[in-house]
Amino acid sequence: MNAPSQDKDASPAIKGLSRGELAYERIESLLTHMELKPGEYLTLQAVQELVGLGRTPIVEAVRKLSDDTLVEVRAGRGLKVAPIDLARERELLDLRRDMERFAIQRTIKNASHLHVSQMRRLYESLDALNTSRETALAADDIRSFNELDHRMDDLILAAAAEPFLVRTLRPLHTIYRRLGFLFLTYCGTDELIHRNIALHQEVLRAILARDLEGACRASDELMDFAASMFPCLEMELDPSLLDSSIEPFMP
């Protein structure tokens, strides 16, 4: 039996996160960037080695991810990364649309000066990524956008200050962040990537202006963009990308 992997970070908390929260963040990033493939089986030991944290925080993170329906814990077999169920995720988009509107309403009402300052910086970071619509975006840019999208989701939830929203929207954000990464990587064009970034900017712009109607409209347009991904994902993607247990189709 291999010795437990050593933590990559010596401090008990990084950026205010506990080790369990840090483990969750690291595994979530592996999920959303398809480094842990849908349908893949892993042992807890393998996850420890990938994440670089001890068993206790990994178990805590896996428990949360299981509650979020992002992984499935299998007795005696470790865990399975949840496959991508396009029919389910299409239906859940309606739930996300309504909850995003509620989150935006609370954010506009409750955002502190610190939240507003962070949103401005985030807007500038998105703008830097989207400066020229003539510029082709590389795979690293898609990942950078995904990470900014994660920060935006977390910031809106923090400003909304409603724990129920965090518990419900957090897993939905991960589900669609993974789906968006898959879409932009395999089906996306430069135009679509730039448009997606611009839609996120529009949500932030309206929130900063405390324009509730405009922010909800921008959020709805973002959900419409998410809905537009499904035809390509359903018709053009190899099913093995949605569930790695499926044998890839060879030409």
Give residue-wise pLDDT tens across range 54-91: 999 999 999 999 999 999 998 777 899 999 999 999 99
DSSP single-letter state for residue 211: -
Q: Do residues 7 and 45 touch, judged by C-beta distance below 8 A? A: no
Question: What pTM, to 2 d.p., does this model score?
Answer: 0.88
pLDDT at 8: 44
Of 196, 149, 126, which is closest to residue 28 (Cα–Cα)?
A: 149
Is the model's pLDDT at 185 over the cut of 80?
yes
More confident residue, 249 or 184: 184
Q: What is the C-alpha R_g of the chain? A: 19
Mean pLDDT of 28-49: 94
Q: Do residues 137 and 190 touch, judged by C-beta distance below 8 A? A: yes
d(CA 194, CA 207): 20
pLDDT tens figures, 113-136: 999 999 999 999 999 988 754 555
